[in-house]
Amino acid sequence: MPSVEPPVSPVNQDAGGVRYLEIGADHQGQRIDNFLLAHLKGVPRSLIYRIVRSGEVRVNRCRVKPSTRLEAGDSLRLPPLRLNPAAPAAAPTAGLQARLSDAVLYEDEGLILIDKPAGLAVHGGSGLSLGLIEALRAMRPTQSLELVHRLDRETSGCLLISKKTATLRWLHRQLREGQVRKKYQALLVGGLPRERVEVRAPLRKNLLRGGERVVRVDHAEGKAAWTGFLRVEAFAGCTLVNVRLETGRTHQIRVHAAHLGAAVAGDDKYGDATDNQRLSSLGLNRLFLHAAELGFRPHPEADPLVVRAPLPEDLQQVLQRLRHQAGV
């Protein structure tokens, strides 16, 4: 079984096969999980997160979290990793390649902003051999492509992909500092008490038996989360809203909407099965959540840029059927 090659030349290696790597300036500010995912090719995501959380990966001899950010000059400890030869990567079909090529909303020398289709995971894993990032890498083998952020599999819309490490760091910095403006469109099952509603309810991720991830409002141990909802159009039993994210927690919109008593339509995790079945008769067969707009600066010297992704045709048709029911 071949051993995994290190991302940079080791500055030291002990008799047990543990490697010590020195982090260069190119990776200043990068999250350690993203660094390992990018450079330990062929290592399953689950294994990378396990060796970080177990303390086998250390920075300057200290335990770290997956979210720990690297600094130039850090000493990174990697345990010995041995894998069976990796199976050939799944190749994207010609149809998927054409679909992704047509979905590019903006591109420059450092990044791609793509209108992610609903139903396509952003990365492989958990039984999926191919996600959006793997498909793009197969289509562009000479580019160093990395996800800047993530969207749920059933969420469509604006997704940022970096083509350079420096661009990845710059975009992550804007995300950390709240300088990336994110707007979504969602259909809620129920109504809002006012035209504008802000939800500030801390969220905590939980793992259920079997490994399923569920996020709950937790005022004692949750992380701060802030979502703004704006009513756009009201229907019988449903409300179309624009959503503004001030923080970027996992499942934030979905959990805050359910916390209001108006879950996102089609949500099989936080919503109501009876409501979802009723909406399926109108053609809604997925989560009605769309990342409609991103505002950011592509580069430190660039002017602010706003990119919009139109509401997909399947969701537009659901709205038309709701208007027809209301006699509009």
Residue ranges of domains in the chain, CATH in brackets: 10-78 (3.10.290.10), 94-167 (3.30.2350.10), 178-325 (3.30.2350.10)
Tell me the whole-structure pTM to 2 decimals: 0.79
Q: What is the pLDDT of residue 2?
A: 37
93 torsion bin: left (phi>0), alpha (psi -120 to 50), beta (else) = beta
Confidence of residue 58 (pLDDT cuts 50, 70, 90): very high
Confidence check: pLDDT of 23 > 90:
no
Tell me how far apart the alpha carbons of residues 95 and 101 are, in angstroms, rounded to a whole number. 10
CB atoms within 10 A of CB 157: 26
Strands 62-63 and 58-59: antiparallel
Residue 291 has which token pair?
């990342």
Q: Which residue has the higher pLDDT, 162 or 130?
A: 162
Distances from the Cα of 111 to the Cα of 72, 100, 162, 166, angstroms: 23, 15, 4, 10
8 A C-beta contact, residue 228 and residue 197: yes
Average pLDDT, the chain: 88
8 A C-beta contact, residue 19 and residue 6: yes
Confidence of residue 8 (pLDDT cuts 50, 70, 90): very low
Confidence check: pLDDT of 3 > 50:
no
Share of the chain above pLDDT 90, in %: 65
Q: Which residue has the higher pLDDT, 106 or 36?
A: 106
The mean per-residue pLDDT over the stretch 261-289 comes to 94
Q: Which residue has the higher pLDDT, 165 or 16?
A: 165
Confidence of residue 211 (pLDDT cuts 50, 70, 90): low
Alpha carbon 95 to its chain centroid, in Å, reads: 23
Which residues touch 142 (CB under 8 Å, ≥6 apart)? none
Looking at 168-310, which runs of residues are DSSP E strands? 181-189, 196-200, 203-207, 213-217, 226-235, 238-245, 289-296, 305-308
DSSP H helical ranges for 25-143: 32-39, 45-53, 94-102, 132-139
Confidence of residue 208 (pLDDT cuts 50, 70, 90): low
Confidence of residue 31 (pLDDT cuts 50, 70, 90): confident
CA torsion, points 145, 148, 152, 155, in degrees to nearest 10?
A: -90
CA angle 68, 43, 66 (to 5 degrees): 15
Confidence of residue 127 (pLDDT cuts 50, 70, 90): low
Confidence check: pLDDT of 128 > 80:
no
CB atoms within 10 A of CB 19: 21
- Quote the DSSP letter at residue 295: E
Respond yes or no: is residue 272 known to be catalytic.
no
β-partners of residue 162 are 111, 146
3-state helix, strand, coil in the chain (%, to 5): 25, 30, 45
Nearest to 187 by CA among 319, 309, 313: 319
Confidence check: pLDDT of 89 > 80:
no
Residue 172 has which token pair?
């992550």
Q: What is the pLDDT of residue 4?
A: 41
- Quote the DSSP letter at residue 303: P
8 A C-beta contact, residue 98 and residue 117: no
Confidence check: pLDDT of 15 > 50:
no
The mean per-residue pLDDT over the stretch 182-191 comes to 96
Q: What is the pLDDT of residue 213?
A: 79
Q: Which candidate in 33, 74, 152, 267 is catalytic?
A: 152
β-partners of residue 63 are 58
Confidence check: pLDDT of 149 > 90:
yes
Q: How many Cα neighbours within 13 Å face the side chain of 88?
A: 3
Q: What is the pLDDT of residue 161?
A: 96
Residue 144 has which token pair?
């160093």
